Structures are given as C-alpha cells and as structure tokens.
Structure 1
Amino acid sequence: MVRRRRMVRDYDPDRPVPADVRERLLAHAIRAPSAGFSQGWAFLVLETAEERDRFWSATTDAGAPDGWLTRMRRAPLLVVPFSNKQAYLDRYAEPDKGWADRDESRWPVPYWDVDAGMASLLMLLTAVDEGLGACFFGVPGDKVAALRASFGVPGEYRPVGCLSIGYPGDGDRRSPSLRRGRRGVDEVVHRGRW
C-alpha cells in the first residue's frame, strides 16, 4: 500500500465515494497518533456539488481554471483537516502533564499541525487500500479567511491542507515534479552522526 500511494490529480466525476468507504477514511484518520492524546483535529467533509463549488470558490482565484484545477475539481469528496493548537495547550496544562502556563514556546514544533498531517496520511493510505485515488494539497494562506467564512469554521481551527478523494479519472498523469526522482535512502539517512 505504501509503495502504491501517489497523489492523484484527476477523478472520475461519475463515481462517488461510497458512504461506508468515506466513514472508514474518517475512522482511520482518528487512529493517528497525537501528542498527549490531545486529538486536536477536526475534519470538514464536503460531498455535495454545492459544498465542493463553495470550497473551490473560496480557495481559488476567479477566472477560468487551469488544467490542474479542472481535473482536481472533479473529485467527488473533499476532506479539509484542521488543527487546534488550543486543544494541545489545554491538554498539556492538565495535572498529568503540568504545563499550566500553556507556554507555546515549550513546543519545539507545532505538533497540532503534525498530528493533523498524520491523520491526513492515514486517509491517503486508506484511499489506496480502498482502490481510490487521493491528493493532499495546500490551502493558500490568503484564502483561509474566505474558507472560514464560507463554512463557519471556528477561529481556533486552522486548515492544514485539503484531501481530494475519488476514483482516478482517465486524465490522471504523473506529476512533472516526479522527474526530479526520489532521493535515495543513502541521501537522507544519517546513521549515528550527520
């Protein structure tokens, strides 16, 4: 499954994701690890044509979409994972953790985002296991406010990206970025010393 996972950028618009598969994707997402079992994630599920159109209107520029966007817009399911930093600060202020000051500087990296990313990866892998294609892509920073407004997202939740999910379409092709080649293990692994 890991070796078969790739980002799919074109979808068959006539094949919706079955409800039981959608629920498995979400059930697997919440199995992701989270610091202190904080579980500070949330997922916005967009399935209807109106919901998906509203997402694309909020997160893309006006005008005719390019080829990438045209193919991505065919996905019958969008899942927007959100992280909630406050859930982590609150959890680590509890007696068993003891960071009552809720000082964000204690966190070397934003684990709220890391954990939402891990949940996203579990959805990507579940999609492969279910015979679906999926792609994780970013929400432009200047479009986050419009996304929040369009869907009533509370201020403490931040989108970490979006997953498009569906059955691969005929126009799916490999990303030109792949021409760069995958870096080898010997290039990225440092054993015992950098």
Structure 2
Amino acid sequence: MSKRDRAKYKLDRRMGENVWGRPKSPVNRREYGPGQHGQRRRGKLSDFGIQLRAKQKLKGYYGNITEKQFKGIYERATRMRGDTSENLIGLLEQRLDAVVYRAKFVPTVFAARQFVNHGHVKVNGRRVNIPSYRVKVGDVIEVREKSRELPMVLEATQMAERDVPDYIEADHKKMTAAMTRVPALADVPYPVHMEPNLVIEFYSR
C-alpha cells in the first residue's frame, strides 16, 4: 500500500490545491499549508522547486506510484515518438488502476489500487491484480460478477462529482469499460492544472 493512503490530504494542503477534487479536501476550508508554520508566507520557489512541486503533484494524483515506478514511466515516455509530456500523461492514464477509477467503478484513485490488488478486475476475461498493468486501446475491463454489489462500487457509479471522460467507454449495467484512445493532456479531467512539461524538465536536468 502507498504511504500516502492514510494521509492523502496532506498533499492537498502542502500544494494548496484540491489535487483530487474531493469535497472533503481540507483546502476547501483552510487555504494554507500543514503544520504549525503553515500560515507563514511562502517564499518564492526556485526553478528546481517549481519542477519538483509539479512532479509531486502529478505523481501524487495517481495515488500510489513510487518514485521508481514514476521515473520508469518517464523513461518509457522519452523513448516513444512524439511529445514526451503527452506520452507521459498517456502512459499514466493507461494504468489499470487509472482506467478503473476513470470508469467510475471506485470512488478514489486509492480505492482503485486496492480494488485491483484484491482481484476484483478482469482484463479481456482474465483476472489481473497488478495496478500498473498497461491497458491497451480496445481491452475490455470488467468488474468480476461477485464484486459488482460491493457498497464501494455502488457508491462510485452514482457519484455526481465527476464524469467518465470521453476516451473511456463505460457500461455500468454490465460493469465493463474500454479505453477507446490514448488521451492527450487536454483530454484528461484533472481537477487542478498539471504541468508534465515541468516534470520532464525535472528528470532531464
């Protein structure tokens, strides 16, 4: 499990943004950082600090990605043709836990990792319990039949605070989903502004 699982909103407060767009985020009530010094005026960030902040925000958004995994995704993105920033976002959105979250089978990105880990998901009819599994366009993601009545799943499909993006085709009656195309940065419904170009600058220093 991710170390951030118990203190996920700490990232919100440190960034001063509602990173996941959740109603319970503390920045909805307190627009300052965590800790006893959180209300002090923040100094101007260096270029390195701005890049690091962008990396932490993007990595944190996907909830459970370790630094080793995240850097590996960056390295794969650099080897692909096209814009590296767009490639990075595309690879992040192709993670199985990200697709499960986007399809609204679970309420949070943290729940998505646990849901996949516990074997509730099939890909093309085969059970897959690896959250980082790379989903290809056209793959059929399916919630196992015995898992479809879980309270978490029923709650997620009824959530009004977010919609299924147009690059995911989801059927909540059959509890299936498929990625119709690899999204670009502009297609991804991030609740806050993400800057993958700064992440690329951070790693390419």
Greater strand proportion: 1
Structure showing greater Rg: 1
TM-score with structure 1 length normalisation?
0.22
Provide TM-score, normalisation by structure 2.
0.21
